[in-house]
Structure 1
Amino acid sequence: MTPVQKLAGLLVLILLLMAGAAGVAWQIQDWRMGKKLSEQLSAQNAAHQGQLDTITSEAWRQQKAEQNKRLATEQQLALQDQQHTKELSDAQRNQARLRDQLATADVRLSVLIEDSASGCNVPTTPGTAGVVHAARRAQLDPAHSQRIIRITDDGDNAIIALRACQAYVRAIAR
């Protein structure tokens, strides 16, 4: 073997040893960095999971609060509905009683009559209806009285329904 061949062989051997050392160093660095990266990822995952847990618990708390508000509003609306239903049934019962009294002539509707000629509000003859000395009145025909009562019934029902709608809108707006 010639010295050039020996030198070339030695050079190849040195290059192989250097490549092997570099490969081993590379592998060791890979293990160290892999372990370090794994620890960092583990820490990041733990922090991320903590943030997710916080966000999730806050979302659940907000959802529960919204459910409680909705339930409170529904209960309030149910109470208001019961109140308005009672008002409506009371008004209808009173209207029916008044209609019955008008039909049986227990009650008669009357209107004031202006008596500007005499200038005196005292009746000339005593009446059997009462001793009140006031303006003269004329009784309405029962059919007209029934129509007036029907109109006022519709108006009362509309007012009660309007109050119920307004209460509902106020409750929902809150």
Structure 2
Amino acid sequence: MSPAAWKLVGVLLLVLATTGGTWKVQDWRYGKQLAEQAGLHKDDLREISNAAAAQVRADQDKRLALEQRLSASDQTHHEALTNAQKDQDRLRDRLATSDLRLSVLLDAADPASGCSVPAGTGAGGVVHGGTRARLDPAHAQRVVAITDAGDEGLIALAACQSYVRELTR
């Protein structure tokens, strides 16, 4: 081989060695950048995960607080319903034993009430004046049953309204 060919081979080897070294350096730099990006990505994922976990805890706390408020409200309405039922039972018992008598005011100007019913209660009464008629105990029981159903309905309505208020709060 001629000295020019040897020079050419030497230059080619030098170029190859330099290029290979450059590629190696670029590979190291690229690897370092990838490692930095992976670390940043890990940090971002950790922050996102922590934020999501905090949100879940906050939502669970809100739900628990709502459940406790609804439970307290439910107990309150249950007690009100129970008390109303006990009051209605006592009233029915008093009506059944004739301990209490229901009466109604009559309209004296009404021509249909042409019967002459004596005026209301005596000295111990609370109604002043007006003509009153006593209800038959069976009719009084029906009136009490109707008012009992109305009371239960009103208590149930109040319970539903407070439930909706709690949910929309």
SS in 2 for 1:115: coil
Change (3 A) 1:20 1:132: closer
TM-score in terms of structure 2 length? 0.85
Segments of structure 2 that go 5 or more residues without pairing to the other structure are 111-117
* Cα root mean square deviation, aligned: 2.3
Which shifted more, 76-85 or 12-21?
Answer: 12-21
SS in 2 for 1:105: coil
- Paired position in structure 2 for 1:120: none
- Paired position in structure 2 for 1:16: 9
* Amino acid corresponding to residue 167 of structure 1 in structure 2: S
In 1, distance between residues paired with 2:68 and 2:125? 51
Q: Superposed, which structure 2 residues align to 1:1-174 within 5 Å? A: 6=1, 9-116=2-109, 127=122, 130=125, 133-174=128-169
In 2, distance between residues paired with 1:155 and 1:124? 30
- Contact kept? 2:119, 2:132, Cα under 8 Å: no
In 1, distance between residues paired with 2:135 and 2:120? 21
- Paired position in structure 1 for 2:115: none
Aligned residues: 162
SS in 2 for 1:111: strand
In 2, distance between residues paired with 1:47 and 1:106? 85
In 1, distance between residues paired with 2:43 and 2:76? 49
Change (3 A) 1:44 1:132: closer
Offset at residue 11 of structure 1 (A): 4.3
In 1, distance between residues paired with 2:64 and 2:26? 56
In 2, distance between residues paired with 1:158 and 1:124? 35
Change (3 A) 1:39 1:126: closer
Tell me the percent identity: 42
Offset at residue 71 of structure 1 (A): 0.4
